[in-house]
Amino acid sequence: MAEDHDVRTLTDPAELRAAAELFRHTLHVGPMPDAAWERHGPADDEHTLGVFTTGGELAGTAYSFPSRLTVPGGARIPAAAVSGVGVRADRTREGRLGALMWAQLSAAAGRGDAAAMLRASETAIYERYGYGIASRSDEVAVRAHPQWRPEAPGGGTVRMVGADDELGPVAALHERLAGQRPGAITRTRRWWRRVATPAEGADAYRGAAVHLPTGSERIDDGCLDDADGLVAWGLTEAHRPGRRDTLLVHDLWGATPSVVTALWRFVTGIDLIEGVVARHRPRDENLDLVLADPRAVTVTSGGRDELWLRILDVPAALAARTWAPDGEIVLRVHDPLFDDRSGTWRLGPDGPSPAAGAVPDLETGVAALAMAYLGDRTPSELVAAGRWAEHTDGAARCADALFGVPGPVPWCGTMF
């Protein structure tokens, strides 16, 4: 695909800024002020591509930054976090997006990334390039100052922390907590810089706090080694003098359900607010079970796609995650862009082994494999929907058990 269009890596500062502005224009957002560009411009570890017209005009762009994705069992695999994908309105439907995707995925595979991942603004696009929905999330709204059930878990202490450009130790705390949730990713320094002080103001971090376990109630010299949870919030819109605000939760992470509940107690108890909104929350949070009035929380949008995953190195990805202790299947996986990466593997408690000559029990493409890889969907669900093919009776049930290791549901929790 890439040979049909002029796709190249952008390194010139003027081209990088033009790419950023092109992407903003595809989202119907105005130009970025010079000061914001100075602060939020590209970093050395990012990879920005541009696709050009025959006359040399920039027609589309995509970039990625290096990250690591937590998989079931707690291991992390190298993954390219893809963002900034856009094609100019007068240059769409001419194969340029496909050329960008092919070039980007080829480069990521060449760098040794086991996967690529993105958050889709349009959901009908990316499956053709091998991406599948690997996690889903809920948008929730919680009334201010709700009553909590007396038996609801809690404990410990919540303390405010200062927010510098990168939120300092909070970033390290997030990295630690993200290792406990399949689908969570590591964040770069630039990510923290951009989110803590975005180019447009209403969503900026206005406050951050951490949870400390019982017996550890002080933060000494900014050290958060004892902390086991964090919450950071802004506003859903610019502050309106004389009116109560709705807080927007950017981040809320806890090492245990008890810590998560304690952080929700804190943020909903802040004075002079009318409520709290969180746009992307894990589907196993179950706030209604710990509130005295379950209607104090409303799922305003449930089960929306969150993380889209594109597995690039199937055996490496399969080997990285944990599997249930019983069962064995032969799985055939097709890759629509890279046929040399298609293959057949015998999959059991010890992970994958090549099985090139074996008859597959189950067969699927990399996009539908991604839907089961982190645990969001079961193989049986995917067989029933026609996304996987079952060639051996009972193989899907066996795969359900094999893929279904204990742990939280997958959730990314990071916008990028």
Instruction: For residue 408, tell me if it sits in a domain.
Output: no
Residue 358: CB partners within 8 Å, gap ≥ 6?
A: 330, 344, 346
User: Domain total for the chain?
Assistant: 3
Residues in the chain: 416
Beta-bridged to residue 245, according to DSSP, are: 273
The percent of residues above 70 in pLDDT, for the chain, comes to 95
- Of the three residues 253, 284, 304, the one that is the final residue of a domain is 304
Side-chain half-sphere CA neighbours of 70 within 13 A: 25
Residue 151 and residue 80 share a domain: no
Token pair for residue 199?
């180019």
pLDDT at 106 over 80: yes
Mean pLDDT within 129-158 = 96
Q: How far apart are CA 228 and CA 82, in angstroms?
A: 29
Q: Is residue 132 part of a domain?
A: no
Does 197 map to a domain?
Answer: yes
Task: Tell me the pLDDT of the chain averaged across its residues.
Answer: 93
Do 262 and 328 lie in a common domain?
Answer: no
pLDDT band of 2, cuts 50, 70, 90: very low
User: To 10 degrees, what angle do helices 366-373 and 395-403 make?
Assistant: 50
Q: What is the pLDDT of residues 290-301, one digit of tens each?
A: 999 999 999 999
416 occurs within a structural domain:
no
Domain boundary among 281, 304, 327: 304
| Average pLDDT of the residues in 214-242 | 85
Task: Please give the average per-residue pLDDT across 136-151, as a whole number.
Answer: 97
Instruction: Kindly state whether residues 151 and 300 are assigned to the same domain.
Output: yes
Is residue 126 assigned to a domain?
A: no
Tell me if 307 sits within 8 A of 412, measured CB to CB: yes
Number of H helices, E strands in the chain: 10, 19
Residues 153 and 269 in one domain: yes
Q: Are both 265 and 148 inside the same structural domain?
A: yes
Domain limit, last residue, from 304, 329, 362: 304
Residue 414 lies in a domain: no
- The answer on 71 and 184 residing in a single domain is no
267 and 173 inside one domain: yes
Tokens matching residue 113: 């990334």
Question: Is 343 in the same domain as 227?
Answer: no
Domain check: are 20 and 100 in the same one?
Answer: yes
Cα–Cα nearest to 230, from 200, 201, 197, 196:
196
Q: Please give the pLDDT value at position 203.
A: 58
pLDDT at 24 over 80: yes
Q: Which two tokens stand for residue 289?
A: 């079970």
Place of tokens 């496909």: 98
**300 & 318 share domain:** no
Unique residue bearing structure tokens 């189950």: 362
Q: Among residues 129, 266, 373, 416, which one is catalytic? A: 416
Band of residue 1 on the pLDDT scale cut at 50, 70, 90: very low
- Tell me, what CATH number does 382's domain have? 3.30.1050.10
What is the extent of the structural domain holding 353? Answer: 314-403
Same domain? For 248 and 319 the reply is no
Q: Region 228-247: what's the mean pLDDT? A: 88
**287 band by pLDDT with thresholds 50, 70 and 90:** very high
Residue 309, in any domain of the structure:
no
Single out the catalytic residue among 65, 126, 129, 403.
126
Locate all alpha helices (DSSP H) within 141-287, ordered by sequence.
168-178, 189-196, 257-268
What span, in angstroms and rounded, lies between the C-alpha atoms of 64 and 58? 18
What pLDDT is stored for residue 201 in this prediction? 52
Residues 219, 355 within the same domain: no
The model's pLDDT over 332-389, given as tens digits with 9 standing for 90+, comes to 999 999 999 999 999 999 999 999 999 999 999 999 999 999 999 999 999 999 999 9
Neighbours of 116 (CB within 10 A): 27
Output the CA torsion 348→353→359→361 (10° steps): 30
416 is catalytic: yes
Evaluate whether 343 touches 314 at the Cβ level (below 8 Å): yes
Beta carbons of 239 and 249 less than 8 angstroms apart: no
Domain CATH code at residue 18: 3.40.630.30
Is-contact 84 22, C-beta < 8 A? no
Burial of 278 (0-12, 13-18, 19+ CB in 10 A): buried
Is 392 inside any structural domain? yes
Cα 35 to Cα 50: distance, rounded to the nearest angstrom: 24
Helix spans in 212-256 (H):
none
Asked whether the beta carbons of 284 and 299 are under 8 A apart, the reply is no
Share of the chain above pLDDT 90, in %: 82
C-beta of residue 412 within 8 angstroms of C-beta of residue 306 = yes
Q: Which of 193-197, 322-326, 390-394 has the lowest mean pLDDT?
A: 193-197
